Amino acid sequence: MDKEIQRYRMVCNLTFGDIYGQIIVWLIVIFISLATTLALWSSTRQIYALATVGIILVLSLPFLLFAFVTTLFNHIEFAPVEEESTVSRSVSSSTGSNVSQTIAEA
C-alpha cells in the first residue's frame, strides 16, 4: 500500500504542417469527385453523377478520419512528472504566501 501513483504530463505537439498534406489530398479528392460529377451530368445520367459523388465521399471519409486520428495519436506524449518539480512548486507557492503575509503584518 506504500506505492505512490506515478504522475504523467500529457503534451500534444501537433502542428498544422503535420496535417497539411492530408488536407491537400482531401481537397484533391473533392475536386476529382466534382469533376466526375460534371462529366457524368446529363439529362439521362444525373442519378449516376450523384451516386458517384456519394460513393467517393463515403469511401474516402473513413481513410481521412483514420489519417487524422493516427497523426494526432502519434503526436501525443506522456512524460512522467518528477517529484522534485511538484514539491518545489508547492514549496515555492507556500513560501510566497508566507512572505506576503509577513509583509502585510509589518
Q: What is the pLDDT of residues 29-61, one digit of tens each?
A: 889 888 888 888 877 878 888 888 889 888 888
pLDDT at 70: 92
Q: How many domains does the chain have?
A: 1
Residue 38 lies in a domain: yes
Alpha-carbon span 18 to 75, nearest angstrom: 9
Residue 3 lies in a domain: no
Alpha-carbon span 79 to 90, nearest angstrom: 20
Residue 60 lies in a domain: yes
Q: CA 9: distance to chain centroid? A: 16
Q: Which residues contact 22 (CB under 8 A, 6 or more apart)?
A: 64, 67, 68, 71
Q: Which domain holds residue 84?
A: 8-105
List the grid coordinates of 17. Answer: 504542417
pLDDT at 56: 87
Reported pTM: 0.56
